[in-house]
């Protein structure tokens, strides 16, 4: 087996992050590091991710309720919206979504994982935007 060339990080939250990471597994020596369930994760962090998944799943199930469900899901979907790259324009303004997640990043979510990964000296590759926020904030 070849040497591990990257730290491949994804979320195991049913959003398809694992599926997106799969083609890169050869570079990670077959390992996908789960940001919401890694070795050494603190209890408060694990609880945060579990509650996040629970909330998302609740909204997803609520979508089946006629009229109201679609409206509520559309609001959640708008919160998660990623603006298209084209046409080129200034996208540097912080979004509501970023503000929300940066509060958690500043509280320390994921810091322990990034410290572990930094010690390996390998490049960080992720399929999950929150993991990228965490990595950036924690150098």
pLDDT tens-digit profile of 57-100?
A: 887 787 788 888 888 878 877 777 777 888 988 888 888 888 88
Establish if 91 belongs to a structural domain. Answer: no
Buried b (16+ CB within 10 A) or exposed e, 96-110: eeeeebeebbeeebb
Residue 31, pLDDT score: 93
Stretch 4-30: mean pLDDT, rounded? 90
Establish if 102 belongs to a structural domain. Answer: yes
Stretch 103-120: mean pLDDT, rounded? 95
What whole-number distance in Å separates Cα of residue 44 and Cα of residue 41? Answer: 8
Establish if 2 belongs to a structural domain. Answer: no
Establish if 120 belongs to a structural domain. Answer: yes
Residue 84, pLDDT score: 83
**20 CB-near residues (< 8 Å, 6+ apart):** 10, 127
**Which tokens sit at 49?**
């991710």
Cβ proximity of 105 and 133 under 8 Å = yes
Establish if 87 belongs to a structural domain. Answer: no
Buried b (16+ CB within 10 A) or exposed e, 15-54: eebbeebeebeebbeeebbbbbebeebeeebeebbeebbe
Closest CA to 45 of 120, 132, 105: 105
Whether the per-residue pLDDT at 1 is higher than 70: the answer is: no
List residues bridging with 126 in a β-sheet. 9
Cβ proximity of 13 and 56 under 8 Å = yes
Establish if 112 belongs to a structural domain. Answer: yes
Q: Which domain holds residue 117?
A: 7-81+96-137
Q: Number of folded domains in the chain?
A: 1
Residue 108, pLDDT score: 94
Q: What is the CA radius of gyration of the chain?
A: 17
List residues bridging with 33 in a β-sheet. 9
Establish if 68 belongs to a structural domain. Answer: yes
**Which tokens sit at 42?**
């603190």
Establish if 116 belongs to a structural domain. Answer: yes
Whether the per-residue pLDDT at 22 is higher than 80: the answer is: yes
């Amino acid at each position: 087996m070849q040497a591990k060339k990257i730290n491949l990080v994804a979320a195991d939250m049913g959003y398809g992050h694992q599926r997106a990471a799969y083609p890169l597994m050869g570079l990670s020596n077959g390992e996908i590091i789960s940001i919401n369930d890694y070795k050494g994760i603190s209890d408060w962090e694990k609880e945060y991710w579990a509650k996040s998944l629970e909330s998302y799943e609740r909204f997803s199930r609520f979508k089946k309720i006629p009229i109201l469900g679609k409206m509520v899901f559309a609001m959640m979907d708008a919160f998660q919206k990623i603006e298209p790259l084209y046409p080129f324009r200034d996208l540097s303004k912080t979004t509501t979504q970023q503000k929300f997640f940066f509060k958690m990043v500043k509280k320390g979510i994921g810091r322990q994982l990034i410290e572990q990964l930094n010690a390996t000296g390998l490049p960080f590759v992720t399929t999950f935007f929150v993991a990228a926020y965490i990595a950036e904030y924690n150098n």
